[in-house]
Chains A and B, each alone.
Chain A
Amino acid sequence: MDVREQSARGAAVWPWISTVARLGLAAVFLTAGGLKVTDLAASARAVNAYRLTSYDTAKVIGAVQPFLEIALGLLVLVGLAVRLSAAVAAAVLVIFMAGIVWAWARGLRIDCGCFSEGGELAGGRTAQYGWDLLRDAGFLILAGILLVKPRTRWSLDGFLLGARR
Chain B
Amino acid sequence: MSKGRDRADARRIVEQQKAAERRRRVTIWTSVAVVAVLLVAGVIGWGVLAGQEKTGADNLTTPSAAVDGGTAFPVGSGPVVVDLYEDFMCPVCDQFETQTGATIKQLLSEKKITVRYHPVSILDRASNGTQYSTRAAGAAAAAAVAGKFVEYHDVLYANQPAEGSDGLTDARLIELGRSVGLGDAFATAVDDRTYDAWVTKVTETFSARGYTGTPTIVVAGKRVEGPNRTLPTTAVFTQAVNQATG
The answer to whether A and B belong to the same complex is: yes
Residues of A participating in the B interface, judged by any CB pair closer than 8 Å: 39-42, 44-45, 48-49, 51, 55-56, 58-60, 63-68, 70-72, 74-75, 80-81, 84-85, 88, 109-110, 117, 119-124, 156-157, 160-161
Which of A48, A63, A81, A88 interacts with B48 by CB under 8 Å?
A: A63
CB <8 Å contact, A122 and B41: no
CB <8 Å contact, A42 and B38: no
With contacts A39-B124, A49-B212, A71-B40 known, is A123 near B34, CB below 8 A?
no
Min Cβ gap B217→A in Å is 12
**List of B residues within 8 angstroms of A49 by Cβ:** 212
Main secondary structure of the interface of A (DSSP, over half): helix
CB <8 Å contact, B30 and A48: no
**List of B residues within 8 angstroms of A45 by Cβ:** 122, 207, 212
Interface residues on B, range: 35 or more
Interface locus among B6-14, B142-150, B228-236? B228-236
The reply to whether the CB of B1 lies closer than 8 angstroms to some CB of chain A is: no
With contacts A64-B42, A64-B46, A117-B125 known, is A75 near B34, CB below 8 A?
yes
Residues of B participating in the A interface, judged by any CB pair closer than 8 Å: 22-23, 26-27, 30-31, 33-34, 37-38, 40-42, 44-46, 48-49, 52, 92, 122, 124-125, 200, 203-204, 207-208, 210, 212-213, 226, 228-231
With contacts A45-B122, A67-B45, A71-B41 known, is A84 near B207, CB below 8 A?
no
Which of A63, A80, A88, A122 interacts with B45 by CB under 8 Å?
A: A63
Can you list 20 pairs linking A and B with CB atoms under 8 Å apart? Answer: A39-B124, A41-B204, A51-B210, A55-B204, A55-B208, A56-B208, A60-B49, A63-B45, A63-B48, A71-B41, A72-B38, A80-B30, A80-B33, A80-B34, A81-B31, A84-B30, A84-B34, A122-B213, A123-B92, A157-B26
CB <8 Å contact, A124 and B26: no
* Residue of chain B at shortest CB distance from A108: B212
With contacts A42-B125, A119-B213 known, is A71 near B229, CB below 8 A?
no
**List of B residues within 8 angstroms of A75 by Cβ:** 34, 37-38
* Residue of chain A at shortest CB distance from B91: A122
Min Cβ gap B120→A in Å is 10
Expressed in whole angstroms, the Cα–Cα distance for A109 and B229 within the complex equals: 9
CB <8 Å contact, A42 and B124: yes
* Residue of chain A at shortest CB distance from B41: A71
**List of A residues within 8 angstroms of B42 by Cβ:** 64, 67-68
CB <8 Å contact, B45 and A55: no
CB <8 Å contact, A119 and B212: yes
